[in-house]
Amino acid sequence: MDDDLLAIERLDNYRSICISALARTTVHELEAAHLGGDGGYFICEVDERPTGGGISILAKAASWEAAWRLVDIWRSKGERGTALA
């Protein structure tokens, strides 16, 4: 992932969920260009297990503003003590 990481949450020892821009090559390698091009912000699961894993694109935010709105919702949920599931 590149420097446009808006939010990340650790799910367990190996997996995280994040909202981030992705490199053009990453979007094409994951065959996700059909989500409206390779630009923008993606909701991804990152699996760092030594036996595989990788990045799974779960969704794409409709805009930069939508990505930040997701971050705001995410943060407010955490402030109430509820874990992201």
- Answering whether pTM is above 0.75, one says yes
pLDDT tens, position by position, 15-37: 999 999 998 898 889 888 888 88
Which pLDDT score, from 0 to 100, does residue 76 have?
87
What average pLDDT does the segment 53-78 reach? 89
pLDDT at position 84 over 50: no
- As given in the structure block, the two tokens for residue 31 are 């065959």
Which pLDDT score, from 0 to 100, does residue 66 have?
93
Nearby residues of 27 by Cβ (< 8 Å), 6 or more positions away: 33, 35, 38, 42, 57
